[in-house]
Amino acid sequence: MSDQIPIKNLDSKPETRTIELYASRKKIYVKEIQGFFQRIRNVSLWALMGMYFLLCWINVNGQPLIHFDLPARKFHIFGTTFWPQDFVLLSWLLIICAFGLFFITTLFGRVWCGYTCPQTVWTFIFMWIEERVEGSRNQRMKLDKAPTDPNKITKKIIKHALWLLVAFATGMTFVGYFYPVRELFVDFFTFNITEGYAYFWVFFFTIATYANAGWLREQVCLYMCPYARFQSVMFDRDTMVVSYNPNRGEPRGSRKKTADPKNAGLGDCVDCGMCVQVCPTGIDIRDGLQYECIGCALCIDACDQIMDKMNYPKGLISYTNENKLIGEKSHIVRPKSIGYGLALIAMIGSVIYSVGTRIPVAIDVIRDRGALYQYTGMGQVENSYTLKIMNMSDDGQFFDVTVEGIEGIKLSTTTHFFVESGEVYSLPASVEVPPENIKESTQEIRFHVQSESEADVHSLSESRFLGPVEY
């Protein structure tokens, strides 16, 4: 046995490696696939695109079905006009959308991303165009590797021209929700648009659509969309997600169709790579749940087709949850989903009630703070106010205003007036009260504004009346 102490030479420099913090994008060639979930996506795609491109063209009583009239500060939505004073309803709608997304995600994972997200919808449209112009996945790969020739240039020009056409239609339609679309198409091509912002936003959304759906594609989902990052907070062991069953599929390996996988010591996965070839984000679902997965289920359709060819049961890749994969009991109804569901129902009910009971007139009372009170020539105690009456209906109306709250109280100024649609009418008002009816130095009074033509159009606002009190 040696008594020497081992010595290590520290003079030599350790091996160094360079690690890239950001990997440059590798183009993903998505293979076209048909199947059950792809048919569902086609239905949702056409339905959403149809609504987007057609709703702005529908007029009801000469008014667009959806029109956000920013210069006039009013929004026409399905026959109802909303004003900036209704901004709280918009806030509630955004909260409802957020809780709806949380609720759906808790139950079914990222189905929003896979079937209804605008980025997904437009990306699939652009990929469909690409496949029709440049061919299948293998043909596109060969075309990109091939030297530049007239055939390649022609196909590229046609593809990008069609992309730009769809992007331009998208930009025009979007602006058409703010600028009446029937006028927009005429004014745009005849250069009669006086507001330069219309041209700017048309071209902005054209370029944005072309870049996002044509070039960035999965990069938007991976790096720009915040939902991909915080979705895991809403996931649990019972959330339905696209998953590969390793207990059934492993060990994977190729084999003949007639071979018995058990005798070969193999699972059902034939390692064909189809699930990777059809994935729009380029991941391998067999590596487990990944934040890049958008839940589009293309890998399910692709794998099911291979299982059919091999005469194996479908479902090697399927919509399932973690508990099912390990053989435990799963629960669709659970405290988290119940909480999100009840909150969603309560908020939807509140918004429906608010819209259903919404009165298209509002009154705001501003008391003159320059004086406490004064006496009139007839010995009455007088307070001065400014009434702000907002007519939120689609037509101008005559209104009457009254005041109540103290015995003998009355308005000594105009009580009948006309307010245009969308106008905030400012009405100076003087209120008189007999001094003997004033019991306190400050008393609550109520101003009531009533439409002359519609009995259910009225509003109420409270204020204070100041006066002398003798002890």
Residue 19 lies in a domain: no
- Phi, psi torsion values for 470, nearest 5 degrees: -95, 130
For the segment 27-60, what is each residue's pLDDT rounded down to a tens digit?
999 999 999 999 999 999 999 999 999 999 999 8
Distance in angstroms (rounded) separating the CA atoms of residues 59 and 183: 13
Q: Is residue 440 pLDDT above 60, yes or no?
A: yes
For the segment 263-272, what is each residue's pLDDT rounded down to a tens digit?
989 999 999 9
Instruction: Indicate if 223 and 338 belong to the same structural domain.
Output: yes
Poorest-confidence range of 17-21, 35-39, 109-113?
A: 17-21
As for how many domains the chain has, the answer is 2
Q: What percent of the chain has pLDDT over 70?
A: 95
Instruction: Indicate if 301 and 420 belong to the same structural domain.
Output: no
Q: Which of 327, 358, 389 is the last residue of a domain?
A: 358
Residues contacting 320, CB < 8 A, separation 6+ = 240, 241, 243, 245
Instruction: Indicate if 371 and 352 belong to the same structural domain.
Output: no
The pairing of beta strand 80-82 with beta strand 63-64: unpaired
Residue 165 lies in a domain: yes
For the segment 315-354, what is each residue's pLDDT rounded down to a tens digit?
999 999 999 988 888 888 888 889 989 999 999 999 999 8
Residue 375, domain extent? 361-466
Instruction: Indicate if 231 and 254 belong to the same structural domain.
Output: yes
Taken as a whole, the chain contains a residue count of: 471
Instruction: Indicate if 41 and 85 belong to the same structural domain.
Output: yes
Note the pLDDT of residue 287: 94
Distance in angstroms (rounded) separating the CA atoms of residues 387 and 430: 10
Whole-prediction pTM: 0.82
Q: Is residue 232 pLDDT above 80, yes or no?
A: no
Residue 455 lies in a domain: yes
Residue 227 lies in a domain: yes
DSSP string, 102-146: HHHHHHHSSHHHHHT-HHHHHHHHHHHHHHHHH-SHHHHHHHHHS
Query: What CATH number should be reported for the domain holding residue 393?
Result: 2.60.40.10
DSSP element (H, E) containing 219 = helix 218-219
Residue 34 lies in a domain: yes
Q: Which of 341, 358, 375 is the last residue of a domain?
A: 358
Distance in angstroms (rounded) separating the CA atoms of residues 298 and 279: 7
Residues contacting 287, CB < 8 A, separation 6+ = none
